[in-house]
Chains A and B, each alone.
Chain A
Amino acid sequence: MGTQSPPTGHDVELAALSAAGDRRAYGELVRRHGSAVRGLLRRLGADSATADDLAQDAFMTGFEQAAEFRGEGTFAAWIKTIAARLYLKKVKREARLIFSDTVEPVEAVMVGEASRDAASRIDLDEALKTLSRGERLCVSLCYGADWSHAEAAEALNIPIGTVKSHVKRGLDKLRARLARPEEGARREAHG
């Protein structure tokens, strides 16, 4: 209890200390993974305030359930899973989870806006805004939270085939959106 130096060590060790009630160790885990969780929630579609509230809730839940983390996966993936589930629960509660095969009109606006900074670095967050809600959720869950298609299908309560098609369509759009700035950057690098 005497030393005030920040806790160090692997995430698994810090999680074990947290499970024993060590809030300083858990604070270090929050420091390491806070931005990743906040970023994931935004990428799933939460607005800034909601994302931060849910990220805090996720970390509180993580502290309560720290004993359940046994280091089989990474702590980052574990806490992201908690955060994603909290977000999906909230979205379902608010009945805003609508999967539609139609493309939302936001795409045209975002592509037009994106063309202004075509030469700048790749911006995943902007690119994700060009996807429909379902595509964005499925892509972010599978790539951002490292969920399998089956896990996403179960959490979203939709057929796995629907998840796969959302991911495929989402990837096609992201590829098209992300390819241009990368080509620009490559051209710049080659002079």
Chain B
Amino acid sequence: MAEPDFDAQLSRLFAEPPSFPDAALFNAEVAARLDRGWTMRRLFIGAAGVAAGLFAAVQILTSRFSSEVAELSKNSSHDFETEVSAAVAKVNAVLTAPASAEAVWLAAGLAVVALAFAVTRAVEEF
């Protein structure tokens, strides 16, 4: 009978946590580490999202530019100068018209923000 009694006594003793005078300080330190970790994580996720968004925007813009160049070279047999001037006129029309230029940059900006948001959400979900 002594063995189960001692087992129970020992289990009870182990189950009683010792009291620490600096328990509040310990809790505060863990909370601070949690907050720090959380902030770092959010910063990292945000930075990763912005980087991904910028990369995607650059890809979109460069692919559109290269397709324009490809189109120009394909039709160069006709009248190169006419095409160039037409393309320049088209680009000028887009960039000089205030509303159109703004729309292009606004769209690019929105694409960056949307991609950053999407990547942020995806990483957080993961």
Is the Cβ of A178 less than 8 Å from the Cβ of B18? no
Given contacts A34-B26, A34-B27, A35-B19, contact A27 B13 (CB under 8 A): no
Is the Cβ of A30 less than 8 Å from the Cβ of B10? no
Of the listed stretches B28-36, B44-52, B86-94, B114-122, name the one at the interface; the rest are far from the partner chain: B28-36
Residues of A within 8 A of B20 (CB): 34-35, 38
Is the Cβ of B34 less than 8 Å from the Cβ of A39? no
Residues of B within 8 A of A140 (CB): 14
Is the Cβ of B30 less than 8 Å from the Cβ of A56? yes
Is the Cβ of A60 less than 8 Å from the Cβ of B9? no
Is the Cβ of B23 less than 8 Å from the Cβ of A34? yes
For chain A, give the interface size range: 20 to 34
A82 interface residue, CB < 8 Å from B? no
Residues of B within 8 A of A144 (CB): 14
Is the Cβ of A27 less than 8 Å from the Cβ of B11? no
Is the Cβ of B38 less than 8 Å from the Cβ of A23? yes
* Chain A interface helix/strand/loop/mixed: helix
A125 interface residue, CB < 8 Å from B? yes
* Chain B interface helix/strand/loop/mixed: helix
A87 interface residue, CB < 8 Å from B? no
Residue of B at shortest CB range from A27?
B31
Residue of A at shortest CB range from B35?
A23
B126 interface residue, CB < 8 Å from A? no
Q: How many A-B residue pairs have CB under 8 A?
A: 65
Is the Cβ of A175 less than 8 Å from the Cβ of B6? yes
A60 CA to B26 CA in the complex, in Å?
Answer: 13
Is the Cβ of B14 less than 8 Å from the Cβ of A31? no
Residues of B within 8 A of A26 (CB): 34
Is the Cβ of A27 less than 8 Å from the Cβ of B27? yes
Is the Cβ of B34 less than 8 Å from the Cβ of A124? no
Is the Cβ of B18 less than 8 Å from the Cβ of A60? no
Residue of A at shortest CB range from B11?
A143
- Apart from A124-B13, A143-B11, what are 10 other A-B pairs with CB-CB below 8 Å? A21-B38, A23-B34, A27-B34, A38-B20, A55-B26, A63-B34, A143-B14, A171-B6, A175-B6, A178-B10
Residues in chain A within 8 A of chain B (CB atoms): 21, 23, 26-27, 30-31, 33-36, 38-39, 42-43, 52, 55-56, 59-60, 63, 122, 124-125, 140, 143-144, 171, 174-175, 178
